[in-house]
Amino acid sequence: MDVTDPRERYDDLLTERRTWEVDAETFAAMDDNEAFTAGWVTIGVALDGDGRVLLVYNADDEQWVVPGGSVKPGETLPEALVRELDEETGVRVEPVRPHAAVENVIEYEGRTRSFTTVAFEADPTTTAVGENLGEDDEAIERADWFAELPEETFEREFATRLLERVR
């Protein structure tokens, strides 16, 4: 299946465009970056029965992150979401609906590369966090449920807005 841009279906999404100027080396390195080659990334805001949000800890960045990842060829956004949350947390989810679409753009000397992150609400069908989290090349150290976002949350302001929409 092809990816369908949720901005075409939902008129109430949080939408943003984030642009960064980068150097030549960083721009070239994105040739092999999965998010940029795929063009789409999904993340999932999953709440348990107590209203706690599921996050993963990225040891490289030393931050908690809303779980998700790149869409593989042939996947829909919801299919990628289910696969990514299972890989990164061991928690099975059912996608509810998208709540945000963020276009991420890097620029170098007039050239650009981009990908779009789509943030979904996701209902967990299980809540037990798995073991052996993430793929071999990922720095996912652990996953856990939180009543409130930790201070060390990646893009905390944006994550807070997402959480408020889903709750």
Please say if the pLDDT value at position 2 is more than 90. no
Q: Which domains does the chain have, with CATH numbers?
A: 6-161 (3.90.79.10)
**Listing from the earlier edge strand, what are the strands of the sheet with 68-70?**
14-21, 93-108, 111-124, 40-46, 68-70
Q: Could you identify the residue written with the tokens 């939180």?
A: 146
Kindly report, residue by residue over 8-60, the tens digit of the pLDDT.
999 999 999 999 999 999 999 998 899 999 999 999 999 999 999 999 999 98
Amino acid code (one letter) for 107: E
What is residue 49's predicted lDDT score, i.e. its pLDDT? 94
What is residue 55's predicted lDDT score, i.e. its pLDDT? 98
Residues of the chain above pLDDT 90, percent: 87
Q: How many Cα atoms within 13 Å fall on the side-chain side of residue 66?
A: 28
Contact 45, 65 (CB under 8 A): no
- In this prediction, residue 132 has a pLDDT band, given cuts at 50, 70 and 90, of confident
Please say if the pLDDT value at position 134 is more than 90. no
- In this prediction, residue 135 has a pLDDT band, given cuts at 50, 70 and 90, of confident
What is residue 1's predicted lDDT score, i.e. its pLDDT? 54
